[in-house]
Chains A and B, each alone.
Chain A
Amino acid sequence: MALLEVDDLQTHFFTREGVVRAVDGVSFEVEKGKTLGIVGESGCGKSVAALSIIGLLPQPPAKIVGGSVRFEDFDLAALSDKSLEDIRGHEIAMIFQDPMTSLNPTLKIGTQIMETMQRHLDYSKAEARKRAIELLEEVHIPNAKDRLDDYPHRFSGGMRQRVMIAIAISCNPKLLIADEPTTALDVTVQAGVLDLLEELQEQHEMAMIVITHDMGVVAEAADDIVVMYAGQIVEQASSLDLFDNPEHPYTEALLGALPQIEGTGIREGRLTAIPGRPPDLADPPSACRFAPRCPFSEREDSCTKEMPQLRQVRPGHWVRSAHPGSERAREPVGAAK
């Protein structure tokens, strides 16, 4: 049994413009000690899916309207706020994109690290303080003992993210959810933070969910990958299989749209842009949501009329498309669709 099992999760936002189906039937599992990467562009529902798991969405306007989230023996979607609070920050921890705003600027970072342990582990102040120093050392902040009494503004972006990570792991969570953990950081700092996360994962045997828009980051961090588009999972596979043999036209297009860093003829060439934009989730098409932008979809195809189901094209590799790469006989319908 996996540590976390999300089954047919549906999170909708009830707005004046109508019901926005931000997460529309998403299922995945996270095994103990493994990393699941959820990748997709803005508005695909990747963050909403994660926030739904730990009940951090404002309700209203958001509401989990269907599905279940099983973590160990609990159905998180059905749990009371109070019980969820005991799990959140303790068994399941989260770090966010922006280390500049996720720490309280008016509190010393020591206080902010100790807070979580005092809440969940009944540590005395002295115990929590001792452990806080160890934690700062674990995330490789130099002079940990002296830095405990500094305020967040004394730390750089990368260092603040390390403090956030120290807080997240303070209660030995079984699952760490990292939502765009390195997006606000410079590349050289990003590499250090990703390395740190993996190091801590090994030490603490944590499972992780890494949510990102960056195909490079999931390639680096994840064992298994879920690709989301317009509120749905469109492809799901092990990291190696996904990058070796991407099946969904959207995954292929995303990889094709990335500028190359190595090779020849890069300056002269054009990038393979994906025409158009994702659909409005307040009124999504009942057919394949990628069909209007898909280079393989033709007007008479079934995928322009009904929604393809997520199906297994080979062991462990799932795809929601009428035109997966391995079954494709036809050429793209013409670039300027």
Chain B
Amino acid sequence: MSKEPLLVVTDLTKHFPVKEGMFLSRSVGAVKAVDGVSFEIPEGKTLGLVGESGSGKSTTGYTVLQLIKPTSGSVRFMGKELTELPRGQVRKLRREMQIVFQDPYSSLDPRMTVGDIVAEPLIVHSVGSRRSRSARVRELLEVVGFDPTFTNRYPHEFSGGQRQRIGIARALALGPKLIVCDEPVSALDVSIQAQILNLLKDLQRDFGLTYLFIAHDLAVVRSMSDRIAVMQSGKIVEEGEAEEVYEHPGHQYTKKLLTSVPVPDPRLMRERKVERRRVAAADRAAVSAI
């Protein structure tokens, strides 16, 4: 039998109830944030999850990690069914699955020093002695390209890119196998974004990490992913090898996304614009004819 991929997600759903009434006591329906999503990621690979706001891509990431309890479906990680494991066991498995958040301004506790932030997962999971932890923190910061002499400083003293490095060091602290990267560079400037993307690539190569890489930027996702899944309204509408999905999109929505991305080529942009205006005018004519 061939080895099971590190992460296998099958028919995952997350519905949020919509409530009404004086005390919001009546459920009148549900928002199907994640609506029957299936994918797998082999160890050491990256699946890119791309979609627009509200497509359910982040909720998918949170439900995979059991940070939000899924409504139904299966999440198999390292051969274990996460949705059926008791909380304590899931907690233990957190050592193997971590998350890097979008906003390095709000995802780091402003009252904790850089050293404490990176050490926290080690303390929570009772790893090592105080001394070995402090050595580990320095090592982690060095790995992510953050000057380890700054462990006693606070997050606000650093730029967005440096803060994101702190967040990545924290995610790496327990030596995880899987990292969910939830829009890790969307708050950063282009020049800094490239630094962080390169860092994530290097870490994957050096530590054999597996990524679920969530982002709205199609170019960013392409640069990181082996396979790409396109999400729309809670569903994966297309999934495949990165190059295949981008060069030969099969789904109408993927095509629309790809032709909407502005690229630094004025001539190409002009051609696309002419085409879009033609389509938009035809759409409006069709609407007014009804």
Contact residue among A191, A243, A272 (Cβ-Cβ distance under 8 Å from B265): A243
Q: Is B242 an interface residue (CB 8 A)?
A: yes
Q: Tell me, rounded to whole Å, the shortest Cβ–Cβ distance linking B142 to chain A.
A: 16
The 0/1 profile, CB within 8 Å of A marked 1, for residues 185-229 of chain B is 000011111110110010000000000000011111011111000
Task: Select the stretch in B12-20, B94-102, B104-112, B269-277 that faces chain A.
Answer: B269-277
State the CA gap A267–B223 with chains docked (Å).
5
Q: Is the Cβ of A190 less than 8 Å from the Cβ of B260?
A: yes
**Interchain CA distance A333-B267 in the complex, whole Å:** 32
* A window 250-273: CB within 8 A of B: 253-255, 257-262, 264, 266-267, 269-273
Give chain A nearest CB distance to B184 CB in angstroms. Answer: 13
Contacts of A142 in B (CB 8 A): 287
Q: Would A240 and B267 be within 8 Å (CB), given that A195-B276, A198-B273, A272-B194 are in contact?
A: yes
Is A299's beta carbon under 8 Å from chain B? no
| Cβ contact within 8 Å between B222 and A195 | no
Interchain nearest-CB distance for B214 vs A (Å): 15
Contact (Cβ within 8 A) B194 A220: no
B152 contacts the other chain (CB 8 A): no
B201 near A270 (CB under 8 angstroms)?
yes
Whether B219 contacts A219 by the Cβ 8 Å rule is no
Tell me, in angstroms, the Cα distance from A243 to B263 when the chains sit together.
11
Residues B195 and A190 in contact, CB atoms below 8 Å apart: no
Q: B262 interface residue, CB < 8 Å from A?
A: yes
A266 to chain B: which residues have CB within 8 Å? 222-223, 242-243
Q: How many A-B residue pairs have CB under 8 A?
A: 124
Decide: A267 and B191 in contact? CB cutoff 8 A.
Answer: no
Chain B residue contacts of A195, Cβ below 8 A: 273, 276-277, 280
**Chain B 243-277 per-residue mask, 1 if CB under 8 angstroms from chain A, else 0:** 10011000000001110111111110100010011
Contact partners of A199 in chain B: CB under 8 A: 277
Across the interface, do A42 and B189 meet the contact criterion of CB distance under 8 Å? yes
Closest to A239 in B: B266
Chain B residues with CB under 8 A of A214: 262
Bound complex: CA of A266 vs CA of B195, how far in Å? 16
Are A190 and B262 interface neighbours, CB within 8 A? yes
Is there an interface contact between A277 and B265, defined as CB atoms closer than 8 Å?
A: no
Tell me the minimal C-beta distance from B235 to chain A in angstroms. Answer: 17
Interface size band for A: 35 or more
| Max chain A C-beta neighbours (<10 A), residue from B194, B226, B242, B261 | B194
Check A327 for interface membership: any CB of B closer than 8 A. Answer: no
Q: In the complex, A307→B222 CA distance in Å? A: 39
**CA gap between A253 and B193 in the complex, in Å:** 13
Docked Cα-Cα span, A262 to B245, in Å, equals 11
Bound Cα distance A219, B269 (Å): 7
The answer to whether the Cβ of A80 comes within 8 Å of any Cβ in the partner chain is no
B53 at the A interface (CB under 8 A): yes
Interface size class of B (residues with CB under 8 A): 35 or more
In the bound assembly, the distance between CA atoms of A191 and B218 in angstroms comes to: 14
A7 CB within 8 Å of chain B: no
Whole-angstrom CA separation of A261 from B195 in the bound complex: 18
Once the chains bind, are A219 and B277 in contact (CB under 8 Å)?
Answer: no
**Given A188-B52, A219-B269, A257-B191 in contact, is the A270-B219 Cβ separation under 8 Å?**
no
**Could you tell me the distance between the alpha carbons of A273 and B217 in the complex, rounded to whole angstroms?**
17
Contact B218 A261 (CB under 8 A): yes
Q: How far is the CA of A267 from the CA of B260 in the complex (A)?
A: 22
Partner of B189, one of A41, A220, A243, A260: A41
**Closest CB in chain B relative to A204 CB, distance in Å:** 17
Q: How far is the CB of B169 from chain A (nearest CB, A)?
A: 18
* A95-149, CB < 8 A from B: 140, 142
CA distance A254 to B226 in the complex (A): 25
Residues in B with CB closer than 8 Å to A198 are: 273
Q: A255–B266 Cα gap in the complex (Å)? A: 13
Closest chain A CB from B217 CB (angstroms): 8
Contact status A262-B246, CB under 8 Å: yes
Residues of A near B27 (CB, < 8 A) are none
In the complex the two chains form, what is the Cα distance from A199 to B246 in whole Å?
A: 30
B residues 80-105 in Cβ contact with A at 8 Å: none
Please state if B223 and A271 are interface contacts (CB–CB under 8 Å): yes
Task: Kindly report which residue of chain A lies nearest to residue B241, judged by CB atoms.
Answer: A267
A93 contacts which chain B residues (CB < 8 A)?
none
- Closest Cβ of chain A to B98, distance in Å, is 22
Which of B159, B191, B284 has its CB near the most chain A CB atoms (within 10 A)? B191
The answer on a CB contact under 8 Å between A187 and B193 is: no
B56 at the interface (CB under 8 A from A): no
Inter-chain contacts of B193 with A (CB < 8 A):
257
In the assembled complex, the CB of A287 is this many whole angstroms from the nearest CB of chain B, namely 20
Ranked 5 nearest A-B pairs via Cβ: A216-B262, A274-B191, A259-B223, A273-B194, A271-B194
Sample 9 A-B pairs with CB under 8 A, ordered by A number.
A41-B189, A42-B189, A187-B216, A188-B260, A239-B266, A243-B266, A261-B258, A274-B194, A275-B195
Other CB < 8 Å A-B pairs besides A215-B190, A270-B198, 17 of them? A186-B53, A186-B216, A187-B216, A214-B262, A215-B264, A216-B261, A219-B263, A219-B265, A219-B266, A220-B262, A220-B266, A261-B222, A266-B222, A267-B223, A274-B191, A274-B194, A277-B192
